Structure 1
Amino acid sequence: MKNRLIYLLCALFLIPIGLATRIYGTEFMKLYGGDALWAMMIYFGFRMLFPSKQSSAFWYALIFCYLIEISQLYHAEWIDAIRQNRLGGLILGFGFLWSDLVSYLVGILVGYYLDKVGQESFLSAY
């Protein structure tokens, strides 16, 4: 239960940081940083759901993020109406970009690495 709480807090911690990159970030951070942080948040969300399966969470997060990006190629009235809502737009995005796929991979890899280092340092402390 303790691990789930830690992963939830990590995911929640990333939300305001990711949103802030859209407003205060450099052009590079606006283009790529927010997407990487979003994917890292998704990774920690999957870690919360599957706290004992780090590599599974990595793959679930990557597939989830990629499916969301691929869904941006689909433009039916109903899904575009969801995207017009601020929350729907933040979750589903608006247009497909190849660079987003790279940003997602980087964000998930960084989250995976931080998770691994955090576990190792926690275990070595006890």
Structure 2
Amino acid sequence: MCLQIRDIKSKVIYCSAVLLAVMLGLGTRAYGDQLPHFVSVHFGDAIWAGMIYLAFRVLLTRHPLWLSLVLSLCFSFGIEFSQLYQADWIIHVRSTTAGGLVLGQGFLWIDLVRYTAGILFCYVIDQILQY
């Protein structure tokens, strides 16, 4: 019983963190012109990838943190490399707001660095808060 309550508590905390990441990420898009240039250019992608890590933590609360780290890197890199595929139907999906936010628009090597930074940041904070 205690394990189930602990799992529920963890899921609520991680869900809250996902929602915070969504708000911060959208904030970097909505208020990018009011933020420092470095923040508006790089933080949105890093926050998106951190949100992916946190979403994996929601799903995998009973698993080690490193598994969420690996899966979120694979997922984020997979999304980025999928942007090399340019069929008409996927371009149409990417042109929608939701499709653009999830799938991105075009492949950029720097995005892989941004994703790695965002995921590692969340992973390190998660590691610290575990103890």
What letter corresponds to residue 3 of structure 1 in structure 2? S
1:50-101 CA distances to partner (integer Å, 9 max, x unpaired)?
0132100000000000000001111111111111110110110001111100
- The residue type equivalent to 2:42 in the other structure is Y
2:21 to 3, 6, 14: 14
Quick one: which amino acid aligns to residue 69 of structure 2? F
C-alpha distance in structure 2 between counterparts of 1:29 and 1:100, whole Å: 14
Residue number in structure 2 paired with 1:4? 11
Tell me the amino acid that sits aligned with residue 115 of structure 1.
D
Return the offset for 1:23. 2.8
Quick one: which amino acid aligns to residue 127 of structure 2? Answer: K
Matched position secondary structure for 2:26: helix
**TM-superposed deviation, 1:110:** 0.4
TM-score between the two structures when normalised by the length of structure 1 = 0.91
Q: Distance in 1 between matches of 2:84 and 2:41?
A: 19
Match of 1:65 among 76, 80, 102: 76
Task: List gaps (5 residues or longer) in structure 1.
Answer: 121-126
TM-score (norm 2): 0.88
1:55 match: secondary structure: helix
- Figure out how many residues of one structure are paired with residues of the other and give that number: 120
Alpha-carbon distance between aligned partners in 2 of 1:89 and 1:42, rounded to the nearest angstrom: 15
5+ long unaligned stretches in structure 2: 1-7
Preserved contact between residue 19 and residue 34 of structure 1 (Cα < 8 Å): yes
**2-structure distance, mates of 1:61, 1:85:** 23
Cα distance in 1 for partners of 2:104, 2:37 equals 18
